Amino acid sequence: MTQIFDLSGKVAIVTGANTGIGQAIALSLAAAGADIAAVGRTPAEETVAQVHALGRRAEIISADLSSIEPVQRVVDETIEKLGRLDILVNNAGIIRRADSVDFTEEDWDAVIDTNLKVLFFLCQAAGRHMIAQGSGKIVNIASLLSFQGGIRVPSYTASKSGAAGLTKLLANEWAARGVNVNAIAPGYIATNNTAALQADETRNRQIQERIPAGRWGEASDIGGAAVFLASRAADYIHGHVLAVDGGWLAR
């Protein structure tokens, strides 16, 4: 049964792989047998070292994903260095917070460009290659705000709603061409990005009381979901947004 989750011989691009959820996804994919192209502005040296310790190949691909300028190079460099491309995980993202009445165009554009525009064009560049080879798995990282509105994060909510919509659109276009496009919507995950929330005693308690599982998620919880969606076990899953949230949306 474990062979259905085996990623041996596969090559995965993971954006934002230097820390947090991106790092956990890269390490989970590597533990399942995949080689990793760790893409981002900050070199993912620690991630690459841990992938090597798992006996898998890994390459750092430096790219500022605030614009689409490096997108095609990321795909080309991955194939050049690692020989192929089978999996794309669009994890890199940013967030800006302010009341909607005060939100600036600069903050709107920065978040939309990184979280939605670059996500689409990376899907496009990887998708062209995957369609040509007749197979591939794309996993976009959405959010609970793909389902809910949130507060004080208008561009983030718009971008993550858009990521969920694009996931479905691309699945409609590419499912019959051998490419699976799905997304993961993480809930409250204990990472550096949520350290302030975890440290706020009142907010931390409120969050945990709302989560049926009664705890924050671990980054590895997202890694396991990514392995599933990247594996043969998910061959008949297309256009799905998988909430990994401890039951948050069910409450």
Residues tagged active-site: 156
Name the H helices within 139-249.
Answer: 154-174, 195-199, 201-210, 219-230
In eight-state DSSP terms, residue 251 is: -
The Cβ-side half-sphere exposure at 178, using a 13 Å CA radius, reads 13
Please report how the helices 105-112 and 154-174 are oriented relative to each other, as an axis angle in degrees rounded to 10: 30
Three-state secondary-structure class, residue 203: helix
> How far apart, in whole angstroms, are the C-alpha atoms of residue 111 and residue 108?
6
CA distance readout (Å), 250 to 45, 47, 91, 144: 38, 33, 24, 12
Instruction: Give the largest CA-CA distance in the chain.
Output: 53
CA-based nearest residue to 186, from 151, 234, 231, 139: 139
